[in-house]
Every structure is written in C-alpha cells, then in structure tokens.
Amino acid sequence: MLPARADTPHPKRKDEYKHQVEILEDVWRTAQLNGDVDAMDKLLSDDYVGITMAGQVVTKTQQLDRMRNRSMVLTKIELTDVKVKMIGTTAIVTSLADVDGTNDGEPMHGTFRYTRVYSRLPSGVWKITNFEATRVGPPPPPRERRRQPADQKPPA
C-alpha cells in the first residue's frame, strides 16, 4: 500500500481546484479578447514563459507589452475539447482553439491546440506559469507580396 502524500489534495479539493482553473480559463479568454492588461498581469506568474502561435518565446513582460502595444489582437477565441488535469497543486489545461485576429497588423486565423500550466501558490492564488500553442492542420497560404502601383518606381 502506498503512503498518503501531504501534497496531494483530497478528491473533493481536487474537484474544487479543477473548477477554479476552469473559471480562470474564462477569465484568461475574456482578458485576451478585451486586451485587458491588468487582468492578464494578475493571471501570469512573474516567471511566466509562453511559446506563441508563431513559435516565439515570451516572458510575462513581453506578453503584457504585446497586449499593451496591440501587436497581437484576438477578436475570436472559441474553445472546445477543454481538459483540466490536476497533479497536486499544478493544473495542466489543454484545448482546441479556433482563433481570429491580427498579428503585427496581418490578419490571422487558425485552429490551435494549446497547453497552459497553472500553479497554485501557498496563498491559494492560481498563476499561469507556462503556455504553448501549436497550429492544427495545414499552415495558411504564404502572404502575397505587396505590389507597387504601376505609376511608382521600386526603391533603388
């Protein structure tokens, strides 16, 4: 027989933690759609590391700057197949997200699988520590190069 572990929550507590994280996922989604930097600041841990849809590694400061500067604006985030896995006081969330918006001013649309990791602090507050998004399906077609109007000469 295995000994009971003090760092493993009671099953009822585990369900409560899972529910708290499900609520925080909605808070995250709303903050992302509304460009709410203050709400996102409260959600992300100071040592947050994210891997964006484009494969860029970003810190908390960089992620908040991206929101503040509106370099990435999401106008639609539809989540399906949401799963929350509890391991002690760590929650691992996976989902399928259908996303619309702009990235550096360019239109962006796609379906992504993502993983978000939450850690429950001793104070009881949950923080997002890690995030990664991976495109599902074929990549979008390459962007067409912008054409110069016929009456303008290309730069020398």
Look up the CATH number of the domain holding residue 88. Answer: 3.10.450.50
- Domain contains 92: yes
- Residue 116: strand pairing partners: 93, 131
Tally of domains within the chain: 1
Total residue count of the chain as it appears in this document: 156
| Burial 82-119, CB ≥16 within 10 A → b, else e | eebebeebebebebebebebebeeeebebebebebbbb
Tell me the pLDDT tens digit for each residue of 50-101: 998 888 899 999 999 999 999 989 999 999 999 999 999 999 999 999 999 9
Q: How confident is the model at residue 144 (pLDDT cuts 50, 70, 90)?
A: low
- Domain contains 94: yes
- Domain contains 153: no
CB–CB of 91/126 below 8 Å? yes
- Domain contains 144: no
- How remote is the C-alpha of 81 from its chain's centroid? 15
- Domain contains 127: yes
- Domain contains 147: no
Q: Which distant-in-sequence residues (6+ apart) come within 8 Å of 57 by Cβ?
A: 49, 50, 51
pTM over 0.85: no
Question: What is the CA angle 120-126-127, rounded to 5?
Answer: 105
CB count within 10 Å of CB 21 equals 21
- Domain contains 50: yes
CB–CB of 97/110 below 8 Å? no
- Domain contains 4: no
- Whether 118 has a pLDDT exceeding 50, the answer reads yes
Q: Which distant-in-sequence residues (6+ apart) come within 8 Å of 15 by Cβ?
A: none
Domain of residue 114: give its range: 11-136
